[in-house]
C-alpha cells in the first residue's frame, strides 16, 4: 500500500477534482458492458447525486490523493428500510468506487473501502451493500476478498 496516499472526506466544492476518475470509471464499464453503458459528458456519479447525499448528511464522498491529485474516489450513503416486511436496520451502500487505472492493484481501493466502513460504522450502519456487474470480474474478486457475498441477483434479458 502506498504510504503517500491520503484518504479523506471531500466536500461538494471538490466535485470537479474527481472528473478524470469518473470518466475513466465509466469508460471501464463501457468497454465491458456496452449494451448497458455509453460515454457521456457527465459520467456518474453526478454532482446532483453527491449534493443530495451530502445535503442531508446521509452520505460521503471519499477521495484518495497522491501529490494533490485525486487518484480514486468512493461514494457511500446510509439508508433505513421503511417497508414493514423488512428487518429494520441501518444500511450502508457503496454506490461508486473509481480508481485510476495506473493505481489499481496497489491497495488504494482497499484503503477507500476501509475508510467507508469506518465512516459507516461510526454512523450506526450494521450492514453494507454494493452492486457490481458480473462482467467486472476484477471488482467481483476484490469485493469478495473484502468479505462481501452475493445477497441477491438482478437478471436481464434483451428482447
Query: DSSP string covering 131-158, please?
Result: ---TT-HHHHHHHHHTT-----------
Residue 99: strand, helix, or coil: strand
* Residue 106 belongs to a domain: yes
Report d(CA 143, CA 147) in Å as an integer: 7
C-alpha cell at 151: 445477497
Q: Is residue 54 part of a domain?
A: yes
Place of cell 456496452: 34
Residue 103 within any structural domain of the chain:
yes
Distance in angstroms (rounded) separating the CA atoms of residues 137 and 159: 25
Alpha helices in 5-86 (DSSP H): 19-32, 47-55
Containing structural domain, residue 42? 6-145
**Has residue 86 been placed in a domain?**
yes
Burial of residue 44 (number of CB atoms within 10 Å: 0-12, 13-18, 19+)? middle
Residue-level pLDDT at 110: 97
Cα 55 to Cα 59: distance, rounded to the nearest angstrom: 8
Q: How many domains does the chain have?
A: 1
What are residue 128's DSSP bridge partners? 92
Is residue 1 in some structural domain?
Answer: no
Whether the predicted pLDDT of 28 surpasses 80: yes
Tell whether 153 is covered by a domain.
Answer: no
| CA geometry: angle 27, 32, 33, nearest 5 deg | 95
Q: Which pLDDT belongs to residue 84? A: 87
- The CATH number of the domain where 122 resides is what? 3.40.630.30
2 confidence band (pLDDT: 50, 70, 90)? low
Reported as a single tens digit per residue, the pLDDT across 76-105 is 999 888 888 988 889 999 999 999 999 999
Q: Kindly tell me if the per-residue pLDDT of 47 is higher than 80.
A: yes
Say if 159 falls within a structural domain.
no
Is there a domain that residue 133 lies in?
yes
Amino acid at each position: 500500500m502506498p504510504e503517500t496516499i491520503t484518504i479523506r472526506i471531500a466536500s461538494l466544492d471538490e466535485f470537479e477534482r474527481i472528473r478524470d476518475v469518473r470518466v475513466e470509471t465509466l469508460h471501464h464499464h463501457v468497454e465491458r458492458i456496452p449494451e448497458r453503458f455509453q460515454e457521456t459528458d457527465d459520467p456518474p456519479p453526478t454532482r446532483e447525486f453527491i449534493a443530495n447525499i451530502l445535503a442531508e448528511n446521509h452520505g460521503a464522498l471519499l477521495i484518495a490523493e497522491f501529490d494533490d491529485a485525486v487518484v480514486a474516489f468512493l461514494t457511500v450513503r446510509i439508508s433505513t428500510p421503511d417497508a414493514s416486511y423488512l428487518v429494520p436496520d441501518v444500511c450502508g451502500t457503496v454506490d461508486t468506487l473509481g480508481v485510476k487505472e495506473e493505481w489499481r492493484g496497489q491497495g488504494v481501493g482497499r484503503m477507500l473501502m476501509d475508510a467507508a466502513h469506518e465512516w459507516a460504522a461510526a454512523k450506526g450502519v450494521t450492514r453494507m451493500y454494493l452492486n457490481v456487474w458480473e462482467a467486472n470480474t476484477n471488482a467481483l474478486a476484490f469485493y469478495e476478498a473484502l468479505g462481501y457475498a452475493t445477497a441477491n441477483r438482478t437478471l436481464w434479458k434483451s428482447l
